[in-house]
Amino acid sequence: MAEEQRKPKKRMTATKAAASIGPMVKEFITGTNRARAEGKRKLAYTFIVCHHEEILRAMDVLPVWTENFAGICGVKRAAERFLQKAESLGFSRSLCTYALCGLGFDQWREELGEMPPDAPWGGQARPDFMISSGQILCDPRTKWYQAAQQFMPDVPIYNIDLPHPLFDPKKDHREVWGYYHKYIVDQLRGLVSFVEEQTGKKMDYDRLRELVALSDRTWNLVHETYELRQAVPCPMGTGDAMNTMVPLCFMMATQEAYDFYVNLKQELEEKIARGEGEVEDEKYRLLWGGGLPAWYALNDFNYLNSKGASFPAETTYRMVVPIYEMDIPETDDPIEHIAWKWLGYWTHWYDKARNRPGSEPDVERLIEYIENYKIDGVVMHLAFSCRTWHVGLIWQLHQLAKIYRPIPVLMLGGNGKGDKVQRELPSLILESDIIDITSYSEMDTRNKIDAFIETLESVRQTKAA
Amino acid sequence: MPEYFAGIDIGSTMTKAVILSDRIIAFVIGPTGPEQRRLADKVMEELLDKADLPLKALTYIISTGYGRINVPFADKQVTEISCHAKGVVFLFPGARTIIDIGGQDSKGITIDATGRTTNFIMNDKCAAGSGRFVEVIADSLGIDLDRVGDISIQSNSPAQISNICTIWAQQEVAARLAEGTPVPDLLAGVHRSLADRVVRMVKRLKILPDVIFTGGGAKNKGLVQALEEYLDAKILVPPEPLITGALGAALLGKEIFHRAVSKNQLLETKPRRLETIQIL
């Protein structure tokens, strides 16, 4: 059933902004290799959504986003040989395949003393140090770099712990978040000391403050830009958002990222003014309700588009809420602000969930998008190797079905009498992996998509009747 | 002049075809086989013989199933999800949930009173969630697939089959057999294992009665019993559970045709000519 490793068709984008991302990513990967050769800047392996980019950039450290590189290997259908390399070292294929790909690549590079042959976009540069963080979500993020130290014993690791209060329907998280804040601030100050030690430079706090302010402005701008996708027809879908997330996730605290969203916002406003949608004849509006995408199969978004399905919203990679909507204390200390921003984001849907008995924050987020973006159905992708996040998705769908009650539909039953029913929001669960193409079958996936489209159509016809 | 509608369901293991007017005129079921997917015309010939009709008498033809794109004379292709829904509600107007266990996959479908799909879930990744699981075990025990249901319902103490992989389960069954576990208990354990896996998948949907069981798996009494136990609900089985997809395809064809007529629309049809696609 495995899809052969042929070169994927290029995914068509709906926006110029999304089309510009490929060269941008290539540049920051080749840029890290140039920097490695020049030896003027320190390179750090690290992970996205850790709220530490401002600290790294303020100290001129160049991040090497290891998950991003694994994703690139996936997009280019070039991950398999690195996965096999990791397997030959004794790592199980059922571990996080981002980590496996990175470990296979690192071992190969260290063994050769140069990049493995035909390494995508010149390969992943060797780091000077590694910054891990499992937050409270993802254990491979903590263990990955520890395993990588087998091949790079001279490269030190610093782990930042970034917890947030777990949701409790009976308790206001603000009662305890002060403790969390103090802890996170300590963690981040520890990171500053570690980076100072590694770079031999002192932190310039004025510069840090400026970069934090720039990140805040970018956050707000991303939110405002993505909210434009509520328009009917939707000007940009999730397929494009899997590209436009790049500046948000990998280039925060840079003017380039801010400028990217200025341009994207303008492009979307122009498309809306022209009445131009992601698809020519928008029939169904879908929510990408979670899961990382199958990076080697982004063309499936085009396939869905070809059936009249647009994706106005997604939870994946949309890791922002506007600063002005966060109920967090003000502070002039940039480290303290980063910590509050972290807590503000992760607890953003807590109050809403508390106000709806039986609800949960993740489900509230789905409901918010379903309502605001006029959603007809939910698509999720279960990536077998990412248990930390993906196992919760089905649970979220269950919770959604229990809590969320769409408008009742009056239907004529077989007996000719009116029959009031609660219409389920149709959902499609795709199953494969983030980069392990052996778990994917295009034929089966598209058969499921066809069936889902027919389901959406039948719901649409019933509503119309 | 009477109107005839045909549905042809090319599944991974079996090919099913139905001709319908105001009732089912004829149906055929045969193995798909490695080449049969490309030889849908043979099935259609047999069906037309049985119905005593020429091909040109068919008003509209819909193909469904995994091989639906390999039916050159079909006027439209529709997925098996929609077709099963339509076929089942024709047979059981009170149906709201369908469980289908076929040769290579299993599915759960929820439907409304008109036979429209409201949600669905499919397992096409793993043989252990499909009829293939029972087939492999029956084969390794040297028992004809048609008999496994009757044998398994004699069990008073179903064996616990803990492996979730078909190949390992086959080994486990062999080991249990060597230990002296009676065959009915082994088969009952195999059915429970499959039922457990399928019910866990289907429970992702909102299961409402009546629950209808279709596909080749529904011919197996032991599997019906195990599913009822794990679902804790009564399950209904059509008289011929393999043809619901093909029947639904024919019904959809009828619906599409009459809708077009009522709107005075021209409906495109393929030339009524049977051609064998040679692939070797």
Percent of chain B's residues with pLDDT above 90: 54
Asked which of A59-68, A77-86, A111-120, B162-171 is least confident by mean pLDDT, the reply is B162-171
Same domain, B210 and B105: yes
The partner residue sitting opposite B81, judged by closest CB among A414, A454, A462, is A454
How far apart are alpha carbons B210 and B61 in whole angstroms?
29
How far apart are alpha carbons B263 and B39 in whole angstroms?
35
Q: At A442, list the tokens.
A: 């295009």
Q: Residues of B at the A interface (Cβ-Cβ below 8 Å)?
A: 66, 78-82, 89, 93-94, 110, 112-114, 116-122, 124-125, 204-206
Alpha helices of chain B — where are they, by DSSP H? Answer: 33-36, 40-51, 80-91, 131-141, 148-152, 166-179, 183-202, 221-231, 244-262
CATH number for the domain spanning B22: value is 3.30.420.40
Percent of chain A's residues with pLDDT above 70: 93
Same domain, B253 and B166: no
Asked which of A236-240, A332-336, A404-408, B156-160 is least confident by mean pLDDT, the reply is A404-408
Question: Given this model, what pLDDT does residue A408 score?
Answer: 44
Do A421 and B112 lie within an 8 Å CB cutoff?
Answer: yes
Our measurement of the distance from residue B197's CA atom to the centroid of its chain's CA atoms, rounded to an integer in Å, reads 18
Those residues whose C-beta lies under 8 Å from the C-beta of residue A283, and which sit 6 or more positions away, are: A307, A308, A309, A456, A457, A460
How far apart are alpha carbons B108 and B116 in whole angstroms?
14
Question: Given this model, what pLDDT does residue A424 score?
Answer: 61
Q: At A282, list the tokens.
A: 């928008």
The partner residue sitting opposite B82, judged by closest CB among A429, A448, A451, is A451
- Quick one: average pLDDT of A193-209? 98
Tens digits of per-residue pLDDT, A217-235? 999 999 999 999 999 999 9
User: pLDDT confidence of A6, banded at 50, 70, 90?
Assistant: low
Higher per-residue confidence, A316 vs B123: A316
Question: Does B89 reside within a domain?
Answer: no
Q: How far apart are the first and last CA of chain B?
A: 41
Same domain, B208 and B130: yes
Identify all chain B residues contacting A433, using CB atoms and an 8 Å cutoff. none
Tens digits of per-residue pLDDT, A81-106? 999 999 999 999 889 999 999 999 99
Same domain, B191 and B210: yes
Same domain, B57 and B131: no
Do A455 and B120 lie within an 8 Å CB cutoff?
Answer: yes
| Closest residue on chain A to B127 (Cα) | A1
Residue ranges making up the domain that contains B106: 94-236
The partner residue sitting opposite A451, judged by closest CB among B79, B93, B125, is B79
- Quick one: average pLDDT of B206-235? 93
Do A458 and B110 lie within an 8 Å CB cutoff?
Answer: no
Same domain, B204 and B104: yes
How far apart are alpha carbons A95 and A106 in whole angstroms?
16
Same domain, B24 and B61: yes
Do B204 and A461 lie within an 8 Å CB cutoff?
Answer: no
Identify all chain A residues contacting B93, using CB atoms and an 8 Å cutoff. 414
Same domain, B221 and B107: yes
Same domain, B145 and B189: yes
What total of structural domains would you count in chain B?
A: 2
Mean of the per-residue pLDDT values for chain B?
Answer: 88
Question: Given this model, what pLDDT does residue B166 score?
Answer: 74
Question: Does B276 reside within a domain?
Answer: no
